[in-house]
Structures are given as structure tokens and as C-alpha cells.
Amino acid sequence: MTAFTAMLEKQAWLGNLQVKVLAGPVLILMILGMMILRLPPFILDLLFTFNIALAVMVLLVSMFTQKPLDFAAFPAVLLFTTLLRLSLNVASTRVILMEGHQGGDSAGKVIQAFGEFLVGGNFAVGLVVFLILVIINFMVITKGAGRIAEVGARFMLDAMPGKQMAIDADLNAGLIGEDDARRRRSEVAQEADFYGSMDGASKFVRGDAMAGLVIMGINIIGGLLIGMLQHDMSFGDAGRTYTLMTIGDGLVAQIPALVISTAAGVTVSRVNTEQDVGQQMISQLFVNPQVMILAAVVMGMLGMVPGMPNLVFLIFTALLGGLAWYLLHEKEKLLVAQAVSSAQPVPTQEAPEASWDDVQLVDTLGLEVGHRLIPLVDRRQNGELLGRIKSVRKKFAQDVGFLPPVVHIRDNLELGPNAYLVSLKSAEIGRSEVFPGRWLAIDPGQVSGKLEGTPTQDPAFGLPAVWIDSSQREHAQVYGFTVVDASTVVATHLNHLLHRHAAEMLGRAEVQSLLDKLGAEQKSLVEDVVPKLISLTAFQRLLQNLLAEEVPIRDLRSILDTLAEHAPKQQDLGELTALVRIALGRAIVQQWFPGEKELRVIGLDAQLEQILMQAMSGSGALEPGLAETLMQQAEKALTRQEAGGDPPVLVVQHSLRAVLARFLRRRLRHLVVMSQAEIPDDRLLRVTQLIGGK
């Protein structure tokens, strides 16, 4: 029985699939058939009624969608509905010219109803109404919707590079995964395609309006000639008969066209929110009681002017006043409820004795937020920042090689309302401000315009930035700004701080977890090195040395292999760290020069290098004057290197690397100092900037 039911369900699914696949071809064949075959009046009535129903359905769908891509098929629907109306015009023209001399419902009851009932059988009134509908459709709705679609397509295409950069930035920061990035790129491309298609599809409706005027003229002239010459009708009878039918035919086609044009205007003029058009209008028009009061006053004053329809104006005055009273009443109820909840007395309890439960251990990682940022981290309000922090920790673990501590989040009323603070072992390591509901436009250095907003700096990298409103977001992307929301700003800052303080977060527990994980596959290697050759504490210190210079520790096996070879003869952690760096050289180079054969780096002048070698071999310290000169020239070389778009990497002799790294990174935190021994043999060095050169 179950197999039989499954077979029936499969057949039903295949049947539904075939219906969907055949819907488009069948519709095209129907349209061609209406243009070629002679249709009886009853079939015309059915098709005209179907056309009206289809137009109403399209309008309702456009009203209830929340963003344009929810109705991505609209350009194609616009094309098919336009072709359907034109084919109906052709079919009805054939019937009117062939059977119109009989009068009445010879061309169908729908055309008769629109020609006689709606305009009272007066062809002059019908002609005026038809022309007004055409003008409204052609000059107002279609032209406006076409202009909006044109501008939207232009801005969407101009904003695509900025949006792609923002997606790549989120991906690189670990805020999103590959699947999310692929989906967001697809949405950006679909939005551009949609607005471009709408820009072209709006021309269909304009052409349809022009075709309606031409068809009406042809029907009237052709009807007069056929009625007078073929059916011996008088000029008046022929004019009345054929003109009424033509006007009915035009009205029954133009009213759906007007509805479809309105749907097009609604679709391209909406703003992307979580509400449909009706909800947006109600929630934004009828929400302010002051607006209702002022509107009621104006309508009341107009209602008291002599000669005006006083009753009508006073009715609307009463309605607006009642709505204002209702809104004020609801606002007062909300304020009272808030006051009651805040004023409820807190039951007093006797203070308990102190216990060990009162001792609070220090959180390794903490994030404290001001009260306006609480919705970003509130799980009940679907705070976006929580998911982004999870992604940051996962990305960090994949890139660096160990799992960072859990971020403990709490609110802090002593902070500013929009401020946040990142702490490591209860010590502050970063602080900034973000504004929920606004966007941070970051200047990457090549923007083409200026924005109005609150100037600031990107907290992660110190780049100049501006907090802007949502209305300026697309303009900022067009100008070349990288635009991110408040949650992304905090997550990116946190990610930067995690990498910067990775060495301080690596504790004995994390090191032991790494060894246990590798021991499941390489048990003998782990046991031979830790703790036989090097203690767990010394091994932890070595890994911290690597992390302090942003060297990932993912390749734990290579690190242990190097220690197994050199630890029996060398116990100095500095020398062991240098040997491990040489073993990880290919990974270090790949980190800063991914896929590049030629490495464009900063170098030392040969004379300066000799002076430094002599200083290191002598006293082991740099003279103050030499040290300051070296720092200044290094800053200038680093600035020129970054201006040329090259990585901030300095390559020196192996014996100088450790000393120069400790000295230069005091002020040049993002400078990377590498040893020539760490460069693989298959890579070429090219010195683009020189420290100490003339």
C-alpha cells in the first residue's frame, strides 16, 4: 500500500512539473492562435475576463512582496500580459469589423458592457474616458515607473563593485562562509538583472498604450468604411455602432494595462524592508497623532468656509480627530505600563553571608556593550552579532590553529549608550562606538565622492570612515566606500584583536588540547618531544613566540619534527623559535605572498646591515642615535611599500631577524620581519624599498 501511495505521489509530482514546464509554451501558442484564428464572441468574453483577473493578480502579488526579487519574474510577466492584450485587440478587431454591423453583443458581452454600461452608451464620453486612461497610463504611471527602473538599474550597476567588495571583506573576516558569500553575490547579480530587465520591460507598456490608440483609430475608420460600403449603413448608424464597440474594446484592454502599469510602479518604487507596501503605508502614515491633529484642523477650517461642502469636510475632520485621540490614548497606555513596570518595588531580602560562590573568576575574553547595543547581542531579539562572533571564532581557529576562548558578553551601563569594550583577562584591549540602524562607510583610499554623516575611524584598521544613514548606502557604494553595518564593525574589530593578542590567549589548556588532538594520529611523535625533550611550559612559550609575530601554528607536526631534531642540542627558546620559523617558511611566505613567485619586499642597505651586524656582535644593543634613525627610515620605507600595494614585509639576514623584529614592531606593529633563510628556494626576492639607502 505504501509503495502504491509513493507511486501515486511521484506521478502527481511529475504531472505538476509537466504543467509548469508547458505553461509558457502553451501561453505563447494561445497568443499566436488569437492573432491568427477567428474566435467566437463567447471565447473572447472568457479571454477578456481572464486578462482582467490576471492583471488584478499581478497587482496583488506586487503589493504583498517585501522586496523586488520576490517577484523576479515580473519583467517576463509584463511581456506576456502585453502580448496577451495586443493579441486580444487583434482578435476583437477582426470580430468587430466582421460582425459589428449586427450591433448588440455581436463582438461579445464584455465589449458591449464596457461600451454601453460603463460610459452610458455615449461614444463621445467613452472616447474621452479612453483617451484619459491612455494619457494616465502612458504619461504618468508608465513614464514614472520606467524612470525609476532606469535610475535603479544605473545605481545598481554602479554599486555592484562596492557590494562585491563588502561581501569579500565579510568572507575574509570570517563573518560569512563560502555558501553565504555565493548566495549574496548571486542576489547582487539578480538585482542588477531585475532592474535592467524592468527598464526594458517598461517600454512594452508604453508601446501597448500607443498601439491602443492606433488600433482604436483603425477600428473607427475601418468600421465606418465597412458599415457604409459593405452593409449599406448610414454614416450616423455606422459611426455609433462601430465607435461604441471600438471604445468598449479599448476600455476592456486599457483598464488591465493600467493595473499592470501600477503593479510595475509599485514593484520598482518600493524600499526593501521586512514589510509589504500596505504595511509600510499604514505603519508610516497613520502613526503620528500630531499629524492627525493638524490634518483635522486644516479640514475643519476648510469645512467652515462658506460655499464649501461643509458636511463632507466635517466628516473627515471628525474621522481624523478620532484617529488622533485613539493614537494618543494608546501612547499614554504604553507610557503608563512602562512606568508601572519600572516603579514596582523590589522586595527587600536579608543580605546572605559571603561564600566561595561570590568569587568570580576572570573571563579570558569579554565583550561589554552600552544599552543601545543590547539588541545586537540579545538572543531573544535575534541579535546579529552573536552569529557573527561564532563565525569569527571558527574562522580564527581555522586560520591560526587553536580555538580561542568563548566571548562572554554583558551589558555595562557605565559605558556610553553606543560604546562597546573588548577585554582580555579583564584588561581592556579595544574600545569603540557603533550606531545600530546606521552604516559605516569606510574609505579604502580610492573613493570618488564625499558623504554627509558623522566622521570617525574604522576601529579595526584605523581607516577614515563616516557613519551614514541607510538612504546614503547605495551612493556610498557607488563612490567606492566599503559599507558595513554595526554588527560587522564590532565583529571585524574583535577578529583583528584576536589575531593581535593570539599569544596571550594561548594557555596550557589550549596547548594540551592541541597535543591531544595530534596525539590521536601521531602519538609517538608527541611523546618523544613533549615532555621528554622540551617541557610543556617551554613548548607553550615557543608557540606564543610564533603567535606574537602572527605565524599560524596549524602545522603542529612540522613544529614537533623540528624540535625533535634540534631540541637535544639546543635549549634556547629564541634559537628554537628561529629554527621552527625556517621549517614553517613556506607557510609564512604563502600567508603574505599567496601564489606569487616574485616576492616584493623591503630590504636593508648593505652598509647599514654591516653596521647592525657589528653592533649585535659587540655590545648587543643599538646606539640611541642609530636606533632612532633606523626607526624613522623604516617608517618611510613601510609607507612607500604600502602605497605601492605591496605587503609590509622586511627581509633581513637570519642573525638580525629576531632583534629587528622586537625593535621595529614596538612602533610598526603591522610590519613583518622575515629571515632570508625562511624564503623557499623556488621564490624570487625583489627589493622594492630600501632602509638606509640614499
Read off the C-alpha cell for 310. Answer: 461643509
Can you list the alpha helix ranges (DSSP code H) found in 100-141? 109-112, 123-135
Burial of 174 per CB tally in 10 Å (0-12, 13-18, 19+): buried
CA 427, distance to chain mean position in Å, is 35
Distance between CA 194 and CA 265 in Å, rounded? 14
Distance between CA 401 and CA 552 in Å, rounded? 6
Contacts of 2 (CB under 8 A, 6+ apart): none
Contacts of 288 (CB under 8 A, 6+ apart): 327
Distance between CA 483 and CA 20 in Å, rounded? 40
* Alpha-carbon distance values, 223 to 113, 117, 216, 421, 510 (Å): 19, 21, 10, 82, 92
What is residue 674's predicted lDDT score, i.e. its pLDDT? 92
Distance between CA 144 and CA 129 in Å, rounded? 21
Read off the C-alpha cell for 655. Answer: 642573525
Distance between CA 644 and CA 365 in Å, rounded? 37
Is it true that 361-501 and 595-694 share their CATH fold? no
SS3 122: coil
Q: What is the dihedral of CA 468, 472, 477, 479, to 10 degrees?
A: -100
Burial of 131 per CB tally in 10 Å (0-12, 13-18, 19+): middle
What is residue 14's predicted lDDT score, i.e. its pLDDT? 45
Burial of 144 per CB tally in 10 Å (0-12, 13-18, 19+): middle
Question: Is the domain covering 595-694 a CATH 3.30.1330.10 domain?
Answer: no
Q: Place domain 506-583 in its CATH homologous superfamily.
A: FHIPEP family, domain 3 (1.10.8.540)
Q: What residues are paired with 673 via a beta bridge?
A: 650
Q: What is the CATH number of domain 361-501?
A: 3.40.30.60
In what order do the strands lie in the sheet containing 419-424? 407-411, 365-369, 419-424, 427-433
CB count, 10 Å around CB of 426?
A: 11
- What mean pLDDT is reported for the chain? 80
Q: Which of 382, 383, 380 is nearest to 487 (CA)?
A: 383
What is residue 4's predicted lDDT score, i.e. its pLDDT? 47
Q: What is the dihedral of CA 489, 401, 428, 366, to 10 degrees?
A: 80
Domain boundaries, the chain: 41-150+202-271, 284-331, 361-501, 506-583, 595-694
Q: Which of 418, 456, 463 is nearest to 436 (CA)?
A: 418
SS3 602: strand
Distance between CA 122 and CA 124 in Å, rounded? 5
Q: Which of 424, 421, 418, 387 is nearest to 404 (CA)?
A: 424
What is residue 583's predicted lDDT score, i.e. its pLDDT? 92
For the chain, 694 residues long, the average pLDDT of each consecutive 10-residue run is 50 50 67 74 81 82 75 76 80 77 68 66 70 72 68 66 70 71 79 70 70 75 79 75 75 77 72 58 68 80 77 81 81 70 57 70 87 84 84 91 90 88 91 92 86 90 90 87 91 92 91 89 87 89 92 92 90 90 91 88 88 74 79 88 87 88 84 91 89 72
What is residue 541's predicted lDDT score, i.e. its pLDDT? 93
What is residue 367's predicted lDDT score, i.e. its pLDDT? 92
DSSP string, 153-207: HHHHHHHHHHHHHHHHHHHHTTSS-HHHHHHHHHHHHHHHHHHHHHHHHHHHHHH
